């Protein structure tokens, strides 16, 4: 069915796909962390700016701004967690598919090796 060079080539392509999937997942996770840090820095800067503007009066408008800010931050982090989970699940599916193809390839190779021995 396949000669040894073809099998080696197929295995190499499968390994490249696996490496690419792992690299993509790492990139997604790194981007999520970078965005999360940037959001936190932005909100920290906003808080410092309000505090630097003089004595902070806890009026209704200021309380609403802080509540809205906290709500946005929680929502963004929740969205990032959801996206991270989806990316991780997609990565797992892709790796499983690659491993299934590798197992099928190995079974084919074993069958061919047995036929050659006969």
Parse the chain into domains and list their residue ranges: 4-117
pLDDT digits over 73-111, tens only?
A: 888 888 888 888 888 899 999 999 999 988 888 888 888
Residue 25 has pLDDT above 80, yes or no: yes
Environment class of 113 (CB within 10 Å of its CB; exposed 0-12, middle 13-18, buried 19+): exposed
Q: Which residue has the tokens 């920290």?
A: 44
Give residue 58's pLDDT: 58
Report residue 105 CA to chain centroid gap: 28
Count of H-run helices and E-run strands, the chain: 2, 0
Average of per-residue pLDDT across 39-49: 72
In angstroms, rounded to a whole number, what is the distance separating the alpha carbons of residues 41 and 89? 29
CA pair distance 2, 100, nearest whole angstrom:
18
């Amino acid at each position: 069915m396949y000669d040894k060079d073809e099998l080696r080539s197929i295995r190499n392509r499968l390994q490249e796909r696996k490496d690419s999937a792992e690299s993509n997942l790492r990139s997604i996770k790194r981007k999520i962390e970078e965005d999360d840090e940037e959001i936190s820095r932005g909100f920290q800067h906003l808080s410092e700016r309000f505090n630097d503007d003089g004595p902070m009066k806890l009026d209704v408008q200021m309380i609403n701004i802080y509540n809205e800010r906290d709500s946005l931050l929680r929502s963004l982090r929740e969205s990032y967690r959801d996206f991270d989970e989806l990316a991780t699940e997609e990565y797992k599916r892709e790796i499983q598919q690659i491993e299934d193809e590798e197992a099928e390839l190995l079974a084919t190779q074993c069958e061919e090796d047995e036929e050659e021995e006969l």
